[in-house]
Structure 1
Amino acid sequence: MWKQDETGGEVEREQERWAEDKRSPSKKSGPTLPDEVAFVGKDVEFKGVITYSGTVRVDGSLEGEIHTDGGLLVGPEAVLKAKVTAGTVVCRGTIHGDIQAKDQIVLCAPAVVQGSLTTPVLSIEEGVVFNGTLEMKPQANVEVLREVGSNMGNMTSRPPVQRLAA
């Protein structure tokens, strides 16, 4: 836990960290998300269906469904038991349920995800626990692929596959 001081509380520091993650060009898989339109704090427990446009951040407990064309940020202490439909999902917490993302899913350590994922682009950091199924479908928004693809240039490439004549 962080100690609160005169420059701001733990919520402000966590928001700054998320904001820095969004702006940092050095992140390999960091999607660019719009500013948050809603925030579910870490001591909040919510049951029901959330439908919104834009980006929401969840640090608390949520049970039900989340529907958006925008982004979903799941904090490291968040626990979701939900069916998620979103444009982009960035998870550092726990999600039990199916996730369908139109643009991409980014799983950052120490995330724990149990359920099926459907997305055109998936990024998983070392230290993430994922138990479930994955279905990758073509992407409607080619711009996100270009953004993520440009960050993948540092990876060691494999030699090309050669076909042998029969």
Structure 2
Amino acid sequence: MIGPKIRINGDVSGEENLLVEGQVDGKVSLGQHRLDIGTTGKVNADIEARIVKVDGEVNGDISGSEKVIISSSGNVRGNIVAPRMSLEDGAKFKGSIDMDPGKPAAQPAKPAAEAASANGSRPADTAKSANGQAPVPGKDKSAQEGLSLKAD
């Protein structure tokens, strides 16, 4: 914790969570940890952390690898990059938000029904009759086709 009467000029980095109630001028880098800026906290720095929650004031860019939260008492002037972002009612913000989650995760294998429809065939258990309904097991093909109507 950086207390309300502490002022730091320079870079802050670490491998644990941090609560800032005082003032930090420089750069804050916490890697895969959480940064909370309390209601009395003032940060004039670019921030990098897994989760960033702002209850105080930030002048600088924020990069959150998981999410960034600006509470109703928070005031941010800078750009935000994070896959998830929350701006509570009453929060003050000036800048841009980029919610690009980065590289997409490896796509899971397609289920058999999707894989079969991708190559043009349809598994027997997902075949549909002419009326759009799945066939009823044990019924003959004519029952599955439904009624055909002829116009005069």
Whether TM exceeds 0.5 here: the answer is: yes
What is the aligned-residue identity percentage? 23
Q: Does 1:87 align with 2:50?
A: yes
Which one has a larger percent helix, Structure 1 or Structure 2? 1
1:104 matches 2:61: no
- The match for 1:63 is 25
Q: Using CA pairs below 8 Å that are at least 6 residues apart, which structure has the higher relative contact order?
A: 1
TM-score for both structures, normalised by structure 2 = 0.65
TM-score in terms of structure 1 length: 0.60
Q: Please give the alpha-carbon distance, in whole angstroms, between the structure 2 residues aligned to 1:119 and 1:132.
A: 13
Match of 1:135 in 2: 98
In structure 2, what is the Cα distance between the partners aligned to 1:67 and 1:131?
22
Counterpart of 2:83 (choices 98, 115, 120) is 120
Task: Specify the code of the residue in structure 2 equivalent to 1:53.
Answer: E
Alpha-carbon distance, 1:70 to partner: 0.3
* CA distances 1:33-91 after superposition (whole Å, capped 9, x unpaired): xxxxxx00001010111111121000001100010120000001111100101000011
2:59 & 2:77 partners in 1: Cα distance?
5
In structure 2, stretches of 5+ residues that fail to align are: 106-152
User: Using the alignment, how far apart are the partners of 1:52 and 1:130 within structure 2?
Assistant: 27
Identify the residue that residue 5 of structure 2 maps to in structure 1: 43
The residue matched to 1:40 in structure 2 has which SS? coil
Kept in 2: contact 1:103–1:139 (CA 8 A): no
Deviation at 1:122, TM superposition (A): 0.3
Q: Which runs of 5+ in 1 are unaligned?
A: 1-38, 143-166
> Which consecutive segments of 4 or more residues in structure 1 shift more than 2 A?
none
